[in-house]
Chains A and B, each alone.
Chain A
């Protein structure tokens, strides 16, 4: 579900073999947006990428509903052997991952570029 009303604004395939998907989200992700967010996160998994990078640099706010969508993505991706990374979290968004200790579960990178190229 891509579109101006949902939080996911862009899905881009990158990498040497075009097998890394970068999902760019924006805005505030709370209960109101979490269903659309989750659906948009899951769709690229059907094409079996080797890695999913979720670009959160334009996300200004996230609550536990948004975090739950990312945890669902992680759970399903792990079953398929797909690596999930988060990039560009601002201080406010990062703090909810720290409060819930999920900052130790997700690979969190300062930028999309680092998340894409790091081993």
Chain B
């Protein structure tokens, strides 16, 4: 087979097959990126269509977090309870490690509570505690985080994650099933040392399955080209070495003898 391969004809063909495969693999990757791009764009469109609403219109205390709730802009009015503020360690903002500052906001005349992510600090000492005065908070809704499974025992005033099931047990008010990425406060109660945390960016988590299928198809075609080349090369090599040619011409006459001519 190697002797056949090292002839100009088969080397040229090998080059062609390699080029075809490379472009097909690339086309598949391109298709995949289109898939992700489309998915992000679709989400972005859905999100842009959202108008800021009062918190209570999007979510009620104890109610399950709505499917389209993540990133929904909301506005609410209440009072921070600085005594129950906590920090979430091991968070990153623009590449620097630090802490999220989360403060419960008492809303609905103190009947209900929603955790508000006020911002990010490098050092726990910079968090500060906002005064308990009426404040209007605007932000984007987010579902609660997973429970904290870390080994470390965290210092007083820190929690591993914003785990709403834990908060629901500790806080006596009716808890909203979500938290707020604060984007604005009126009046501004949060200190300048607390850097705002931008609401999560859209990531291409869910890929359009259809485009994923197209990508796979390109790769299958590439594999098929390789298979074709190998098969043809194999046949050519056998012919060259003088051994009988492949399957059909040796087996076909046998079963055609049984089958009469019917054309």
Chains A and B bind each other: no
